[in-house]
Amino acid sequence: MLPGVSVDSYGTALLETSIYGFINETLGATLKLLSLPFVILTLSVFLIVIDTFLLWLTDKILGNFEIDDHGTTFIAALLITSTDTLLAQSF
């Protein structure tokens, strides 16, 4: 686990991933489409900013999932984006 991120239970972790996945597939897809020029200009680095926002939003929606500060949120989003990119290239 990442220091600064706390999850109350295994069930909360499953709920958090479900909510994040839903937000990422709905709002995330819309934000990525609307910000496509920025994504292209920054060579996809702007996707980390979008993922940071989506993770922050998930933190605010779910009470039992806490992220201490914006730096931790950014690092967590960076890890999620990197893992997602590696998995997408693998399959």
Is 15 within 8 Å of 23 (Cβ atoms)?
A: no
Structure letter (DSSP) for residue 25: I
Tell me which residue of 21, 13, 30, 29 sits closest to 64, measured CA to CA: 13
Give residue-wise pLDDT tens across range 22-42: 999 999 999 999 999 999 999
Domain residue limits, the chain: 5-90
Is 52 within 8 Å of 74 (Cβ atoms)?
A: yes
pLDDT-derived band at 1 (thresholds 50, 70, 90) equals confident
Structure letter (DSSP) for residue 29: H
Residues 6 or more apart in contact with residue 89 via CB below 8 angstroms: none
pTM, to two decimals: 0.89
Give residue-wise pLDDT tens across range 43-72: 989 999 999 999 999 999 998 889 999 999
